[in-house]
Structure 1
Amino acid sequence: MLGIAAAVLFFIAFLINAADISTNDVFTSSNIMLIGLALLALHIAGIGNRWSGPSRRR
């Protein structure tokens, strides 16, 4: 799930950079890309990749 969120953030950062959209200092393409990298690192570390629903083992 975090990997998908990272991919979406990378795509948004690409659109901001490619379209040369002027944003405020918080939502620059490099800041969004860094957030995406952090989410990708969490995904690779194994955080947030397992559904924690009820198990049916017996």
Structure 2
Amino acid sequence: MLGIAAAVLFFIAFVINAGDITTNDVFSSSNIMLIGLGLLALHVAGVGGTWSGRSRRR
């Protein structure tokens, strides 16, 4: 799930950068890319990869 969110953020950053869309400093393409890289790092580390449901062990 975090990998998909990172891909969406990378796409948004690409559109901002390719379209020369002016945004404020918080939503600049480099900041959105850094957030995407953080999400991608969490995905590769295994955070959020499994369901945390109860397991039935006997």
Point out 4+ residue stretches in structure 1 off by more than 2 angstroms: 53-58
C-alpha displacement at 1:52, in angstroms? 1.3
Matched, 1:53 2:49: no
Residue matched to 2:6: 6
User: Structure 2: which 5+ runs fail to align?
Assistant: none
User: Structure 1: which 5+ runs fail to align?
Assistant: none
Aligned residues: 58
C-alpha displacement at 1:55, in angstroms? 2.8
C-alpha displacement at 1:57, in angstroms? 4.5
Residue matched to 1:44: 44
C-alpha displacement at 1:56, in angstroms? 4.1
Output the amino acid matched with 1:6: A
TM-score, L = length of structure 2 = 0.91
Q: 1:5-48, CA deviations, whole angstroms, 9 ceiling, x for partnerless residues?
A: 00000000000001100000000000000000000000000001
